[in-house]
Chain A
């Protein structure tokens, strides 16, 4: 079974340019997460989807970041315009949904963004 797929794996852009990241979760996983991972730090949640609904976007900087998951499957995270401080790894994860018990998150390999 395929894991979480992310593309591109690497992206280099100049500041003020737009950039988009794509994520395809594991088939059947209704919950999708986008995380930001700065160098030497742990992942920090940006947004969490249950199907097509964003149920937690409190940490998403909405002035420049946006995300969508229109059909409740794959998702796109966009930054416009990018700033130097946005250089980081952007991780996507997915899990099954439902119940109060833990549903394991499966992570993609991430997209490493460098803003020059």
Chain B
């Protein structure tokens, strides 16, 4: 069935380190792909999205490219900050606004 698999955490990085959180998907048809972020004590927020193959979503220094050939949508940031500490969720959407979320990856950035 349709699903999202993302890298297990927790991930701990030093400030200014490079971040990659892997996400792969299984889906029928042509899904749209998303990264959501959940800061401590807050609700999920959309971080970035890509609606078709080869699209690159970007926001707040984060990037992810929709790779149809590898069914992936890995999240990257070149230099993380302490304020990026949060849980990151990869998700896909099929037609009819059907959403499937990954299990989340917790990121802690230490000064």
Q: Write the residues of chain A forming the contact surface with B, with a CB cutoff of 8 angstroms.
A: 3-4, 31, 33, 40-45, 48, 56, 91, 93, 95, 100-105, 107-110
Task: Point out the residue from B32, B96, B104 that lies within 8 Å of A41, measured CB to CB.
Answer: B104
Q: Write the residues of chain B forming the contact surface with A, with a CB cutoff of 8 angstroms.
A: 4, 32, 41-46, 49, 51, 89, 91, 93, 95-99, 101-104
Check if A107 sits within 8 Å of B44, measured CB to CB: yes
Check if A100 sits within 8 Å of B103, measured CB to CB: no
Check if B43 sits within 8 Å of A42, measured CB to CB: no
A-B contact pairs, 6 of them (CB 8 A): A33-B99, A40-B103, A42-B4, A105-B99, A107-B43, A107-B45
On chain B, the residues within 8 Å of A104 by CB distance are 46
Contacts between the two chains (Cβ within 8 Å), count: 47
Q: Nearest chain-A residue to B95 (Cβ)?
A: A100
Task: Point out the residue from B43, B44, B98, B104 that lies within 8 Å of A56, measured CB to CB.
Answer: B98
On chain B, the residues within 8 Å of A42 by CB distance are 4, 89, 91, 101-104
Check if A103 sits within 8 Å of B97, measured CB to CB: yes
Check if B46 sits within 8 Å of A44, measured CB to CB: no
Q: Given that A40-B103, A102-B49 are contacting pairs, would A109 and B42 also be in contact in the complex, using a CB cutoff of 8 Å?
A: yes
Q: Nearest chain-A residue to B43 (Cβ)?
A: A107
Q: Nearest chain-A residue to B102 (Cβ)?
A: A42
Beyond known contacts A41-B104, A43-B99, A102-B32: 4 more, CB 8 A cutoff: A41-B103, A48-B97, A95-B97, A108-B43
Query: Considering residues B41, B44, B95, which has the most beta carbons from chain A within 10 angstroms of its beta carbon?
Result: B44
